[in-house]
């Protein structure tokens, strides 16, 4: 069993995240999006999306907001490469500017899958915003248009991101102190 009380080391704190969200919102506004539809990729992006949307509001944007739930199958903490739609967007995307929001850009497969899907449905432009980018892990060629922070190549939790649904509530991004004598820590799905 994963213990939610396990120590978590802070990597990006609340203040740094809040400051960065305002900067990202300004950068997004500068692209002058038209008829903007924001699509948050569930589940891990929910907290980032909620904060970024409020920052976008403060910066003067009034987007519509939608959700897509994608699953990239993982064995423990390693991506398998397949992406599946668990819940699709309901809105018409044809002719619209879309901002995809996800938590982490790692192999790139999730974002590429979502971007290709929305472009195939006729979106005018699909931009991508991710809280974290792990460089050196890309399996497909993609750069996010807006990146919160470059993240070391470690498994992170908090601010929406989880291990077996734990730690999502943390207001910061951190590392779980992992004791190798407990190999079941990342054993969940």
Applying CB under 5 A, does 44 fall inside the site for Mg ion? yes
- Bridge pairing between strands 97-105 and 64-75: unpaired
Q: Among 119, 97, 120, 100, which Cα is nearest to 39's?
A: 100
Nearest-angstrom CA–CA distance, 79 and 112: 14
53 binds, among ligand IMP, Mg ion, none (CB under 5 to 8 A by kind): none
CA 29 vs. chain centroid, Å, equals 19
The window from 4-12, 42-50, 60-68, 83-91 that contacts Mg ion (CB under 5 A) reads 42-50
Q: Among 16, 45, 60, which Cα is nearest to 105's?
A: 45
CB atoms within 10 A of CB 183: 10
Among 20, 33, 100, 103, binds ligand IMP (CB under 6 A): 103
Tell me if residue 63 falls in helix, strand or coil.
coil
Residues of this chain, 121-180, that bind ligand IMP according to CB under 6 A: 155-156, 161
Minimum separation from the CB atom of position 70 to Mg ion (A) = 7
Applying CB under 6 A, does 72 fall inside the site for ligand IMP? yes
Minimum separation from the CB atom of position 103 to Mg ion (A) = 5
User: How many residues line the site for Mg ion (CB under 5 A)?
Assistant: 1
Nearer to Mg ion, 33 or 44 (CB): 44
Residues that bind ligand IMP (CB under 6 A): 44, 72, 79, 102-110, 155-156, 161
């Amino acid at each position: 069993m994963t213990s939610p009380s396990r120590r978590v080391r802070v990597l990006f704190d609340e203040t740094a995240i809040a400051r960065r969200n305002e900067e990202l919102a300004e950068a997004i506004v500068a692209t002058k999006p038209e008829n903007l539809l924001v699509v948050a990729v569930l589940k891990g992006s929910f907290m980032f999306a909620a904060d970024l949307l409020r920052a976008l509001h403060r910066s003067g944007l009034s987007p519509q907001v939608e959700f897509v739930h994608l699953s990239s199958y993982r064995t423990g903490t390693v991506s398998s490469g397949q992406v599946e739609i668990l819940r699709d967007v309901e809105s018409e995307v044809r002719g619209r500017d879309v901002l995809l929001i996800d938590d982490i850009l790692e192999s790139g497969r999730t974002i590429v899958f979502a971007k290709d899907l929305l472009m195939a449905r006729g979106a005018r432009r699909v931009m991508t915003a991710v809280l974290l980018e792990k460089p050196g892990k890309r399996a497909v060629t993609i750069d996010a248009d807006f990146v919160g922070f470059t993240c070391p190549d470690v498994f992170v939790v908090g601010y929406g991101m989880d291990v077996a649904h734990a730690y999502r509530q943390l207001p910061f991004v951190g590392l779980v102190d992992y004791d190798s004598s407990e190999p079941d820590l990342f054993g969940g799905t």
